[in-house]
Amino acid sequence: MPWSSLLVLALAVMVWTFPVPRPSDADVKFAKGYLEKFYGFRPLAGRPRRQVEFGAKGFRAKVKEMQRFFGLSVSGELDQQTLAAMSRSRCGLADTEQFGDTTRWRTHRLSYSISRYGTKMKPSQIRKVFRVAWRMWARATPLKFKRTRTEADIMISFNTRDHEDGSPFDGPGGTLAHAFLPGPHLGGDVHFDAEENWTSTISGYNLVAVAVHEFGHALGLAHSPDPGAVMFPAYQFDPHTDLQLSFQDVQDIQQLYGKSPVEPDKPPPKTPDKCDPELSFDAVTGFQEELIFFKDRFMWRSHPTFEEIRITLITSLWSDIPTYMDAAYENNGTIVIFKDSQYWEVSGLDVKDGFPRDISDFGFPDKIRSVDAALHFRETQVTVFFTGEECWRYDEEQKRMTDGYPKMMMREWATVPWPVDTAVEYQGLVYFFIGNLQLEFDPELQRVTNTRPANTWLRCADTHHQHGHRKQLLELL
Ligand code: TQI
Ligand code: CA
Ligand code: ZN
Ligand code: ZN
């Protein structure tokens, strides 16, 4: 078709569509979403949910602002032309749609482009980091990400201070990065503060960890209340475990884009629930007035005066200690943590210098490559280690294993089944944790005096499962 005919056709369409009928409710809703995203429009009754603040203005004022930008007649009315401009995206680039409370990309093939590097990390390394970060979202969904050197759906850049999007960066610290929800123009774009100390290690800010989070926003995800989620709003980087999306992240992104056509090689990790009747623990230790319960990458602290016991990441308190640990005990304010054949001593917020060390320090023979549980008695300065059906007695004052050990558990801890997950002394009684059970052992009576669900001390409101636990225990003993 010759250009002149196209022009005539276009004019005909335009003439034909005027004068404007009243925009439908759906059009108004769409326009509000659009203006909210790209022009800082805030519906008065709505909560602020935008990521970059432009300041609130009235709906008509925002429509005018947008019309001015697109070179349309500045009427403040939602006419067909205006709606068309709103729904048109950059040439050849992905479109988006409103989906429930958020916006998602309409296509599964998205392009990204790195338009400005400008930090001390090498460009090749940065490209690799972004490839890794996109792959994490791609694995969970049907989404495919391809880097281009031109205009892309998602423009990524490192910027300094004011970079003309209304959200200036603030130099080292503070804001690290931000992303725009899916959409045309700035939509989907990701900016990193070039003045941060970006690294691919534990020092400074780990670029993969922050990129995965920002890319989640660029795909339409909001923050997650799950502390195990990549979309949880707290910087977390754990050098001991591979960075991966949590079960919750996968649920949230699949809600928007659907499942991946290929099965995952390993299921995403679930954040443990303190009210799960099946909850077991890796380790439990005293900690001054508290007890700390460790599980996977998480812990719960039960301070007598804390109202509610909330789950946190171990790394939010101790950034350098291992996760998925085997055992832990407290000795005089120092926490000793065991994982495989290594142990760490933690004092205050830091791992002591020279750790981890090998557990052979305690006098274990070479065949013992890990411990199940460690139980410390404050009064006597004795630590008991459990390895399978055997137990060991370590004298903290003399720093040596007591002669005659190991002994069979049956001889010293009659009626306690093995292997145990963890053990702790608390107010003169010993508590063993075995799967989802907790056994109270009275050292004076030399027997189990009570049994409860393992998670009893986390003060879970739900106690319906107690009956089942006791029954299970009777079968165990
Ligand atoms: N940037 C914030 C963030 O990405 C910007 C932001 C987006 C925001 N949505 C928000 C701020 C809603 C407040 C409310 O979350 S940031 C993290 C965190 C940042 C923060 O620089 O503060 C990460 C960047 F908090 F998760 F650690 C990356 Cl990972
Ligand atoms: Ca900053
Ligand atoms: Zn920006
Ligand atoms: Zn965020």
Rounded distance between C-alpha atoms, residue 291 and residue 272, angstroms: 18
Q: What's residue 306's pLDDT?
A: 75
Q: Identify whether 6 is part of a domain.
A: no
Exposure letters 283-309 (e unless 16+ CB within 10 A, then b) = bbbbbeebbbbbbbbbbbebeeeeeeb
Asked whether the CA dihedral 96, 99, 103, 107 is positive or negative, the reply is negative
Q: 440 and 309 in one domain?
A: yes
User: Does 177 sit in the ligand 1 pocket, CB within 6 Å?
Assistant: yes
Q: 4 phi and psi, to 5 degrees?
A: -60, -40
Ligand 1: which residue has its CA nearest to atom 3?
Answer: 178
Query: pLDDT tens-digit profile of 415-450?
Result: 899 999 999 999 999 999 999 999 999 999 999 999
DSSP state, residue 457: G
Amino acid type, 270: K
Q: 143 and 58 in one domain?
A: no
Query: pLDDT tens-digit profile of 354-399?
Result: 999 999 999 999 999 999 999 999 999 999 999 999 999 999 999 9
Q: 142 and 65 in one domain?
A: no
Least confident residue range of 5-19, 185-199, 251-265, 358-372? 5-19
- CATH number, domain of 69, equals 1.10.101.10
Q: 150 and 195 in one domain?
A: yes
Q: Which atom of ligand 1 is nearest to the CA of 176?
A: 21
- CATH number, domain of 384, equals 2.110.10.10
Q: 245 and 118 in one domain?
A: yes
**Above pLDDT 70, what percent of the chain?**
86
Q: 277 and 250 in one domain?
A: no
Ligand 1: which residue has its CA nearest to atom 12?
Answer: 51
Does 110 score more than 90 pLDDT? yes
Q: Identify whether 101 is part of a domain.
A: no
Q: Which ligand is nearest to the CA of 237?
A: 1
**Confidence bin at 121 (pLDDT 50/70/90):** very high
For residue 191, give Cα distances in angstroms to 115, 138, 213, 316.
Answer: 10, 20, 12, 25
Q: 284 and 416 in one domain?
A: yes
Measured CA angle at 275 (ends 269, 277), to 5 deg = 85
Does 461 score more than 80 pLDDT? no
Total structural domains in the chain?
3
Mean pLDDT of the region 48-74: 62
Mean pLDDT of the region 199-222: 96
For residue 439, give Cα distances in angstroms to 34, 403, 443.
Answer: 59, 28, 12
Ligand 1: which residue has its CA nearest to atom 2?
Answer: 178
- CATH number, domain of 242, equals 3.40.390.10
Give the 3-state secondary structure of residue 432. Answer: strand
Q: Identify whether 307 is part of a domain.
A: yes
Q: 83 phi and psi, to 5 degrees?
A: -60, -40
Q: Identify whether 93 is part of a domain.
A: no
Range of the structural domain that residue 455 is part of: 273-476
Q: What's residue 1's pLDDT?
A: 47
Does 11 score more than 50 pLDDT? no
Mean pLDDT of the region 192-211: 95
Q: 281 and 250 in one domain?
A: no
Mean pLDDT of the region 322-340: 97
Rounded distance between C-alpha atoms, residue 280 and residue 190, angstroms: 40
- pTM (global) more than 0.85: no
Q: 280 phi and psi, to 5 degrees?
A: -125, 170
Q: 336 and 467 in one domain?
A: yes
DSSP state, residue 272: P
Radius of gyration of the chain (CA): 29
Q: Which atom of ligand 1 is nearest to the CA of 235?
A: 27
Helices H / strands E in the chain, number of each: 9, 27
Q: What's residue 56's pLDDT?
A: 44
Q: 351 and 287 in one domain?
A: yes
User: Does 178 sit in the ligand 1 pocket, CB within 6 Å?
Assistant: yes
Rounded distance between C-alpha atoms, residue 300 and residue 413, angstroms: 27
**Above pLDDT 90, what percent of the chain?**
67
CB 476 within 8 A of CB 417: yes
Quick one: 388 exposed, middle or buried, by C-beta within 10 A (0-12, 13-18, 19+)?
middle
Q: Would you say how long the chain is, in residues?
A: 477
Q: 235 and 135 in one domain?
A: yes
Q: Identify whether 65 is part of a domain.
A: yes
Q: Identify whether 313 is part of a domain.
A: yes
Does 13 score more than 80 pLDDT? no
Residue 206 Cα, ligand 2 centroid: separation in angstroms? Answer: 14
Q: What's residue 268's pLDDT?
A: 96
Q: Which residue has the higher pLDDT, 118 or 165?
A: 165
User: Does 214 sit in the ligand 1 pocket, CB within 6 Å?
Assistant: yes
User: Does 176 sit in the ligand 1 pocket, CB within 6 Å?
Assistant: yes
User: Does 218 sit in the ligand 1 pocket, CB within 6 Å?
Assistant: no
Q: 347 and 315 in one domain?
A: yes
Mutate to test the pocket of ligand 1, among 156, 196, 214, 231 (most ligand atoms within 8 A of CB): 214
User: Does 234 sit in the ligand 1 pocket, CB within 6 Å?
Assistant: yes
Ligand 1: which residue has its CA nearest to atom 29?
Answer: 210
Mutate to test the pocket of ligand 1, among 230, 235, 313 (most ligand atoms within 8 A of CB): 235
195, 214, 330, 390: which is the annotated catalytic residue? 214
Q: What's residue 225's pLDDT?
A: 94
Mean pLDDT of the chain: 87
Q: Identify whether 11 is part of a domain.
A: no
Query: pLDDT tens-digit profile of 29-53?
Result: 878 877 776 665 655 543 334 433 3
Q: Which atom of ligand 1 is nearest to the CA of 214?
A: 4
Amino acid type, 227: P
Q: Pick from 245, 409, 423, 399: which is nearest to 327 by CA?
A: 423
Mean pLDDT of the region 106-124: 94
Does 91 score more than 60 pLDDT? no
Active site residue 307: no
Q: What's residue 454's pLDDT?
A: 97
